[in-house]
Amino acid sequence: MPEPASKPAPSTLRIAIAGVSGYAGGELARLLLRHPRLQSATPLLLGRMGEPEAVPTALTHLHPQLSGIGPANELRVLPFTWQQLQRQSIDIIFLATPHEQSRAWAPQAIAHGMRVIDLSGAWRLQQEHNRAVYKLEDTDPVLAAELQREAVYGSPELHAPAIRNARLVANPGCYATSILLALAPLVRSGLLDLDHGIVCDSKSGASGAGKALVPNNLFMHAADNLSAYAVFGHRHTGELLEQLGLSSEQFQFTPHLLPIPRGILSTIYVRLRQPSRPEEIQAVLERFYAAAPLVRLRPSPQLPQIQHVARTNFCDLGFHLGPDGRKMVVVSCLDNLLKGAASQAVENMNLMAGWKQSEGLQ
C-alpha cells in the first residue's frame, strides 16, 4: 500500500536546545551548528532550570571546544522561559534535561505548538512498572498518560515511520541503543532460543553518567579500574524488555564503568534455535540494516572496537558464531554521547522534518 501523501519538507526549522550545558547538550549544539539545513536559523540555546534572573552565558564558556564553529563565539545560553521560545516561533525543542524536568516541560512545549525530542528517560517507557525506576510525579496525571501513549520511542532503525509524524519522541538510552541494535534483527527473525536466555555485558565511559558529582565517577575511583554497577536494577533494562518483547526471565543486563571518557561496548551472549552458518546470520543483519545509514556491519568474525566509533555517529556491529553453530557472541559499539544520545536525536529531528535521516551526520 503506498504511503499517504505528505507535506513538502521545510527548507529549515526553528530549533531550541534546553539543557545545552550538559555533555549531550554540548554535542547537540555542535551538530546543529554544522547542520546544512540550519545555517540560516541558529538554534536557540537555553539553560536547564528556568531561572529568569540568571545572566546569559557564552556558549564557548560552557563548551570551549565549540569555538570557531559557525556563529558559536557569538552565541549565548539564555535562561529558560516559554516567552523566549514563543518569540522565536520554535518548531522543535530538544530537552537535554533531567528526567523530572523533561516530564514536566514536554506537555507544556506541546501545548505551545512545539514538537519535542526528549533525551531523558521521562517518556521512553509505556509500562508503569518499568517507568517506576525514574520516580516521576505528574501534576496532571491524565494528560501525562495521554502523552505517554502518544510518545514514540526514538530508535530510527526500529520506528522511523512513527517518528516522522510524532509530536513527542523519546530518545533511547545509550546502553539500550547499543543492545537494541544488536538484538532486534535476531529477535524479530526468530533465530534466538529465548528460553535459553540472553546475557548483555556492557561497558561505558564515564561521560554516560553526565556531569553530576557522583563519587564512583571521580578520578580516584574510575581511573585504572573496571567496576560493575546497578546489577539487576539498571534503568535502561525496562526499555530493552519493552522494545524487544522479552521477559525479565529471558534477559540479563549488567553495565560496567570503563576508565575512559566516552564510548560503549556491549558483548551479548545468545544461543540460536538451530545451527546456522555465519553467512546466514550476516545476511539477516544486512537485510535488516540495508536502509540504516548509521549502522555499520563488520564481516564475521571481525568485531567492533570503541576506538573506531568514538566521536563518530555510527553504531558498529559484529558477531562470532561458535563451532557448534548455535552459541553466538554479538558485539556492539557506539559513542554514548553521539549515536547513544545527541546524533540519534538529530536523526529523529531529520525524520520529523522530512529530511534525509543522516543529514548533517555523515
Catalytically active residues are 174
Please, what sign has the CA dihedral across residues 135, 23, 12, 181?
negative
Would you say 238 and 131 are in contact if contact means Cβ atoms under 8 Å apart? yes
Three-class SS state of 212: coil
Q: What's the CA angle centered on 273, arms 272 and 277, to 5 degrees?
A: 55
Sheet strands (E) in 160-293: 168-170, 198-204, 227-228, 251-257, 264-271
C-alpha to C-alpha distance for 317 and 303, rounded to whole angstroms:
7
Sheet strands (E) in 78-210: 92-95, 115-118, 152-153, 168-170, 198-204
> Within 13 A of 29's CA, how many CA atoms are on the CB side?
33
The H or E element that residue 282 is part of is helix 278-288
Would you say 297 and 318 are in contact if contact means Cβ atoms under 8 Å apart? yes
Q: Which amino acid is at 322?
A: G
Residue 351: left if φ>0, alpha if ψ -120 to 50, beta else—which one?
Answer: alpha
Place of cell 502518544: 150
- All 3 cell numbers of residue 50? 528556568
C-alpha to C-alpha distance for 102 and 31, rounded to whole angstroms:
21
